[in-house]
Structure 1
Amino acid sequence: MNNKINMSALLTLSNLHGTGVAYTSRPSYDSNPWLSNEEHQSNYLTGREILIADQLPMLVHQASVTDKLTSLFELVGLEIPDNIFTFDDKYSYECLIQQLAYKDGNKILFQYPHSEDVLSNRHYGVDKDLFIALNNKSRLAEWTNNKYLPDREVINIEDFSSAMSKWSFPFVLKIGDDLPTSGGNGVMICDNNNDLELAKMKISNDQNVSKTIIIERKIEVRMNYSVQYAYSKSKGLIFLGATEQLTDTAGHYQGNHKLEHIPQAVVQAGKEIMQTAVDKGYLGVAGFDLLVDKNENIYAIDLNFRQNASTSLLMLAPMLKSGHHKFFTYISPCDNKLFFNTIFKYVQKGILFPIAYYDGDWHSDDGIKSRFCGIWHGGSKDYLEKSEIQFLKEIDTSLINN
């Protein structure tokens, strides 16, 4: 294995979880309307934590560890580690989980819970019931000790229409059951009646799986912090850092900027939440979305007791060039060859650090788009933003052809 990762990263997953644990970040193959069921997105996610897994055995889709990733890693002096177990479909994925657990004696650290048909609950790296409870948005008050909460109401879905009559715009609707969500799915921002009607349609379509809805006052945000913490018995509770989470008008994720100056009150709020989970038995990484309004009030709107997009950005910070750091994911809008060559060019320039590459051309089917995530680094915010704009122009064939 390449020891540079172990020596250079701020922290790794194996630092936290030790031996006898294997990791998978893939959502279950079971259907979940609140996670992207797009197969290639789910497969792409399996490569995102390769560089921070360290010694932890890791399940990765074969298309995420092709020669394309090898070439990108070579540009920054890295290698694909040898702790990778690859799969290519549902059957091989679930067989690997069962082999690593039942035959090899590992606990499995899941990014998202799987059914007991896939793995017995007693083989989870983090207690399954606790893991699900901590990530349930309707139980936010428990994990914040009734602090840092916007006005909110948790209702049964059959009471949704009557409850809505008591609320005025703007507000946010969220699913409130045990199904995991990601990337803003399951969150519906309602600024007007049109937004509400669209939300009602979505809720109506999925009411067979979501029994609880959260109505939450929309906060007029001055700053959106994604704060990250980690805990292990040997290292204690660690503040990893914070990023500014970027979202579009619909609340969907648009990347993260690393922040150097975080108000102590924000750090402390996150620490209190993390300590509550640790007291319940949680072990590992967690990231919390904490909003600050114009009056400096702090609101916890989402708690993710798992790795997220900020985790690699913060853990790999010592390996990045000084200056501004931004993490983002790109899906090829052009042919995969142009997409890869453009990424290669910017990594070679030393301003784009590769994290994961999902190789659409690995598949025999035509039209599978490649995906990439990385960190812009090594310059000012203005310089890197201009570089990213130029990068996007170069992969946008509609602009190239015009």
Structure 2
Amino acid sequence: AYLGSVVTNAKVPDYAMASSQGFITVNWDKFAKDTDYAYFRDNIRRGFNNGSGGYIREIVEGAYGEISGILRPLDRTLRYNAGLRYSSTQQTIGELTIQADPRNAALRNGGLYDNTGVWTYETTTYTNLLPSFTLAYNLMPDLIGRASASKSLTRANPADLRQTRVSIGDQGARQGNLTNPNLKPFKSNNFDLSLEYYMTREAYVALSGFGKDLVGRPATRNVSYTLAQLDALFGTVGLTDAQNQAVAASGGRDKHLVEISEPFNIDTKLKIRGLELTWQQPLDFLPVKGFGFTANYTYSKQTDELPNALPVAGVPPRTNNLTVYYERNGLSLRVSRQYASEHIVNASVGLNAGTYMWTTARTQFDASAGINLKQAFGFAYDASLNVSVWNATDAISRTYVQFPGAVFDEYKPGPSYNVSMRVAF
């Protein structure tokens, strides 16, 4: 038993008794009475440790103005829209720390008074102007050019904004995390240019180019410190008995290395550039009316001002989608295919620089069929029957760290089937 516990090692046999089946069990009534168990059970939510509580409050104030209209330059229609958003954000981060009740100095575990909590707060205020505009110009009756630009802002993850605190969780005291209350929101400058050619009201092809310039995006870096360095920077880091034993075995706090993961803002500009091609085409010229398809292909590339800077995760360089459909006389059939190329899903895996977590390329097929019973068979009520299958070919994907053979996990959702009927009375 723990040194100072109400039930010491020597007293353990006093709480053992024979059960009705002849096995050794705990004399619970005696144990609960001697340890004042009911009191601690009823006050279980009052106990806390450093870092077990946190506080975040965000006050956002803003204003938005917009202007839109239609002009006729060169006797052709130009539609425009422009807006300006102002926002002011005040973030307050609080951290709960404990202080031992001074009356506990002469007491032992089991008879201690509750610790008292002290809140400390830190407030950050920032303002932003976020402009945007869109233009659509009829170059020809069936050809439209579009342009848009905007500035957007994304705030930091509140979980990373807690006041500066080091936490070391593993028993070997080799890996830890550091919060960063000074994380700033990151900004993105966005622009798009596109041409749309309409063959009919429903058939068109479109080619667009897009770009994003990201500044101050969040990332995680891993830095090695000795435990003594962490003590000097952030105050003495508390450890468990098992962790203290591991530190002693490696030569003490001035020699024991800890790898710390800490969030930060990347100051350089990341540029994402891409092209997108879209084609939507009814096939009413076929002998059987009602068929058609929609297709989409997207290519993107990202480059950073700083060589070997962390990439943005979750952005496949190539995606394409194809849907073939039939819709006529209350009957609807659709088969679709979605493809995403191999791409990075985690740029901060805690290993050497340039080591990322990837996901393999994945192709998925879905299908659905529906029929409106009123249109097809003269049903008295407006009723529709629908059947769909998701991931019909049982596509899987794997994530791996740097090398395809170093599989981290496998995502195998399997196919999913759905049958539904809707009736309107």
The structure with more strand, counted as a fraction of residues: 2
TM-score, normalised via structure 2 length:
0.21
The structure with more helix, counted as a fraction of residues: 1
TM-score, normalised via structure 1 length:
0.22
Higher relative contact order (CA 8 A, sep 6+): 1
